[in-house]
Amino acid sequence: MSRRGFLAGLGAGLAVAVLPNLADAAGPPKPKATRPAPPTPTGNGLDAHVLVHVALDGAVTIICHRSEMGQGIRSSLPVLIADEMGAEWARVTVQQATGDKKYGDQNTDGSTSVRKQYDEYRKAGAVVRMMLCAAAAKRWKVKPESCTTRDHQVIHVLTKRTVAFADVVADAAKLPVPKKGITLRPFAELERVADPKLPLIDGPGYVTGSAQYGADVVLPGMLTAMIVRPPVVGGKVATYDAARTLAVAGVKKVIEMPVPTKPWLFQPWGGLAVVAENTWAALKGRSVLDVTWDHGENASYNTPAFREEMLQSVRAPGTKLRDLGDIDAAFAKAANIIEAEYTGPHLSHMQMEPLVAVARVQNGTAEVWAPTQNPQQNRTDVAKLLGVKEEAVTIHVTLLGGAFGRKSKSDFVVEAAFLSAQMGAPVRVQWTREDDVKHGYYNAANAQRLRAALDDTGAVIAWHHKTALTPIGGTFDGKTDTPSAGDLQQGVNDVALSAPNVRTEACKAPLHTRVGWFRSVYNIFHAFAVGSFIDEIAHARGADPRDTWLDVIGPARKVSLAELGIPALPNYGEALDKHPVDAGRLRNVITRVTDAANWSNRKGRYLGLAAHRSFVTYTAVVISVVPDAQRVFRIDDAWISMDAGTVINLDRVHSQMEGAVVMGISNALYSGVTMTNGATDQTNYRDSRVARMRDVPRTIHTDIVASTEPPSGVGEPGVPPVGPALANAIFALTGKRLRDMPLANALNV
Amino acid sequence: MKITVNGVEKTLDVDPEMPLLWAIRDVLGLTGTKYGCGEALCGACTVHLDGHAVRACVTPVRRAEGKAVTTIEGLSPDGKHPLQQAWLDLRVPQCGFCQAGQIMTAAALLQIKPKPTDAEIDQSMGTNICRCGTYTRIRAAIKKAAGES
């Protein structure tokens, strides 16, 4: 397809919306969330907000400035703005933004799109509505407050007079943009926002094959590159011979990629690029490239030994981060002490669309098309590589074929820009699945040790949680080898506990590969350990796991920093008064999910329960397993309850919850990559496994708590409780306590 | 070599070992068929070869010579195959990347089993991965298209 064709496709098909996925780990280069800049007037309509333009004929363009990766933001964002302004949906075009700081924060990560920008989206629609109302009111000589909008018209409520947007937009454009006194509609008036079956804006494109992802961008004269990257992080090419590669028909050139220097950040990995006329020629050329490697300092990274090292680390004293009461005294007088250790591997994102980017660098400018979560970061990184100003770089965001955090890194985008500059032609860098598995920004590897002291009534009087995880900070500074207090907000320091004596400790786990944000991040393994451990406590004291959960959390209350025993909580970037640690909301989802699952009637059933707060959202999950002759067990049912505050586009929230259950099953049961001499052992879906249809429940019962609390995260918080719920269900069925992920290793499934 | 793609005869002058996937995408410019794994493990590249579902990523283009290939673009003339309709009605896709392959696998299943059972759906669709986790909706949409719900 020509560039013109592609851009036309973007305008028409790429019109709509999302709920985000990634994480909030305390990794460094997260630029501060920026606010949208004031709009630049176009002179041909109303530009009241940088995300909305009303043309003189009334046509509305809404900018989607966040990336669509399955969460539905290309529907959610535009309907919020359109409903708030009273636009008729048929007259709205959604346009995907390029990476530009004027739009405010575009990093589609950390479950933030709606959580952080809900107010801004509504305000964007509201200022447009107010200006259109003001223009009409002036004409009618009535008060602007006596007018409203609906179906692309301004309405004077009392007299029912109406005027089309098109007839007042020119007048409205001359008015000042209101800065204060911005009034929002009653939530109940947001019709499309509340539509439980809101159509997918890109649905027709998805089912007919016309939706545009990264690899679908075709430019005239475009070449395709495949890169062979160092198998070990920090390694580099020692020797190579390109003769056989250059003899392959269609291969144009072999190019040495720049050697990255520590810290790795978002740099490309180095290696050798085979640039060819098409994908097949590049693949064939790469397969016969003779190369030897200098593996560098990480060639001694071996998973079994490192797992042992992390276990030793959590058995030794760490850095105390949460210290409440006197746990030593409590353990000394305990009637019963429960202890357990849990481990989890590096996880590969395994998004369906392998990394890919298309770049055209010419005349001191660069244009890139990529399925990226973070176009502003890409713009910065490409500008830096080329030594040009950011204004000379345009990052077009295609649809993302899954991302889960992997596409928040710029490495693949910078590769394409580098090679286009080298070739003087447009270049597509296509990663194979194997490249994607072997060169990941994996989730952190982890080991944890938990201890609980119980008194003679079975009450938990002391809680001691130690965690060693390879911190994301190490990818960014090359040094950090111990998780920070910020890292432990994810399911360690923020856990509501009734125990009066609590200690948490961060333990050393030096990083020997690249780690990065993976949907739900550290919450995955912290929730696994805490959720499994509470079940262990329940069985140790012979109590119902649900009752034990409620006992361990304690009564409904907002848990203060003093009660948590910490000086501060990052709280996913949210103020504690707006998004407190609310034990009542966690208890509520536990009650709801267990009621839905008919928990009290467990005779002949094998159920597991777990709950978790993350991204300031509360989620509880029950998984039901049944015996299976061939595969030990089968998951036949799942229930998930979520309290995410105010929710919009309900169907996409339900779908995120369904997807979270499936990804949670993958994480717990199958996933994980291992390292031998620093190189990733796995290659593809055969050995870096994810759930298939047979692995998932017949039904996933999703339950969303109706709430008027501020919106919280949706994309990630469904995942963490799934793993422990599954492990607890397997225990209910088999009596086997599985503490090491992936659980399949111990089950032969 | 000559191949009929979505009802139109095409002449291809390419390495006969080139996988059908890359011939379809790079040479014919039909980008609805996706690359996901390259080893017939994920099903994102599923097309029909003389009516049977095949993984285009491991099918040399020579094997399609003289045969009829149907891609997602050719599944129905107006994009309204019962499966496509059901997929939209139940809002199956999340990121959407795997869905063309899912629909092509399901379409081949319905050719053989117009009213598939759960076990038959699991068996056929077991070749296709959806990392977003839309499996329960895929199952429901197949049943809906088959008139079973």
DSSP per-residue string spanning A58-98: S-EEEEE-S--SSS-HHHHHHHHHHHHHT--GGGEEEEEPP
Question: How is A297-321 classified by DSSP, letter by letter?
Answer: GGTT--HHHHHHHHHHHHHS--EEE
Helices (H), A439-558: 473-477, 523-540, 545-553
Q: What are phi and psi of A181, to 5 degrees?
A: 65, 25
Q: Average pLDDT for residues A94-101, to the nearest whole number?
A: 97
How far, in Å, CA of A209 to CA of A374, rounded?
A: 25
Determine contact: B55 vs chain A, CB below 8 A. no
Give the residue among A662, A700, A691, A704 at the shortest CA–CA distance from A749: A691
Angle between helices B99-112 and B135-145 (to 10 degrees): 40
Distance in Å, alpha carbon of A436 to nearest chain B alpha carbon:
10
The DSSP code for A157 is T
CA dist., res. A374 & res. A335, Å (int): 52
Decide: A485 and A522 in contact? Cβ < 8 Å.
Answer: no
- Burial class from Cβ neighbours inside 10 Å (0-12, 13-18, 19+) for residue A147 reads buried
Residues facing B10 on adjacent strands: B3
Q: What whole-number distance in Å separates Cα of residue A84 and Cα of residue A651?
A: 20
ipTM of the complex: 0.98
Contact between A657 and A702 (Cβ < 8 Å): yes
Q: Is the pTM of this model over 0.90?
A: yes
Distance CA A520, CA A717 (A): 6
Report the C-alpha gap between B32 and B28 in whole angstroms.
11
| CB contact (8 A) between residue A200 and residue B129 | no
Which of B32, B41, B139 is nearest residue A209 as measured by Cβ atoms?
A: B32
User: Which uninterrupted H or E stretch holds A427?
Assistant: strand A427-430
C-beta separation of A196 from A704 below 8 A: no
pLDDT of residue A43: 84
Chain A residues closer than 8 Å to B22 by CB: 278-280
- Asked if A207's CB is within 8 angstroms of B99's CB, the reply is yes
- Which residues in chain B have Cβ-Cβ distances shorter than 8 Å to A685? 37, 39, 41-42, 129
Please give the DSSP secondary-structure letter assigned to residue A577: T
Q: Which helix (H) or strand (E) holds B8?
A: strand B8-11
Contacts of residue A734, Cβ cutoff 8 Å, sequence gap at least 6: A632, A633
Contact B15 A280 (CB under 8 A): yes
Closest residue in A to B58 (Cα–Cα): A280
What pLDDT band is residue A1 in, cutting at 50, 70 and 90?
very low
Best of A14, A19, A22, A207 to disrupt the B interface (most B CBs within 10 Å) is A207
Distance (Å, whole) CA A124 – CA A178:
11
Pick from A206, A400, A694: CB nearest B122: A694
Which residue in chain B is spatially nearest to A437 when comparing CA positions? B37
- Chain A residues whose beta carbon lies within 8 Å of the beta carbon of residue B91: 197, 199-200, 203, 651, 655
B 8-47 → A contacts, CB under 8 A: 14-15, 18-19, 22, 25-27, 29-39, 41-42, 44
Alpha helices (runs of H) in A610-740, residue ranges in sequence order? 650-669, 722-734
A715-747 confidence digits (pLDDT tens): 999 999 999 999 999 999 999 999 999 999 999
How large a percentage of chain B has pLDDT more than 90?
99
Q: Rounded distance, CA A124 to CA A48, Å?
A: 8
Q: Are A407 and A428 in contact (CB under 8 A)?
A: no
Count of CB atoms situated within 10 Å of the CB of A15: 21
Nearest-angstrom CA–CA distance, A476 and A471: 10
pLDDT digits (tens, 9 = 90+) for A103-159: 999 999 999 988 988 999 999 999 999 999 999 999 999 999 999 999 999 999 999
Cα(A234)–Cα(A232) distance, integer angstroms: 6
Half-sphere exposure of B37 (CA within 13 A, CB side): 28
d(CA A636, CA A478): 45
The answer to whether the CB atoms of A215 and B133 lie below 8 A apart is: no
- What digits encode the pLDDT tens for the residues A547-585? 999 999 999 999 999 999 999 999 999 999 999 999 999
- Supply the DSSP string of A698-720, one letter for each residue: SEEEEEE----SPP---TTTTST
Residues 6+ apart with CB under 8 A from A613: A494, A495, A496, A581, A585, A586, A619, A717
Mapping DSSP to helix (H, G, I), strand (E, B) and coil, where does residue B100 land? helix
At A634, which amino acid appears?
R
3-state secondary structure (DSSP) of residue A196? coil
CB contact under 8 A, A658 and B137: yes
Least Cα separation, residue B98 to chain A (angstroms): 7
Question: What contacts B90, CB < 8 A, 6 or more positions away?
Answer: B137, B140, B141, B144
Locate the DSSP E strands across A522-631: 558-559, 581-582, 606-614, 617-628
Sheet holding A336-344, edge to edge: A319-324, A501-507, A460-469, A446-454, A336-344
pLDDT in tens, A151-203: 999 999 999 999 999 999 999 999 999 999 999 999 999 999 999 999 999 99
pLDDT digits (tens, 9 = 90+) for B81-124: 999 999 999 999 999 999 999 999 999 999 999 999 999 999 99
Mean pLDDT value of segment A625-637: 94
Measured CA to CA, the distance from residue B81 to residue B86 in angstroms comes to: 9
Cis peptide bond upstream of B19, omega within 30: no
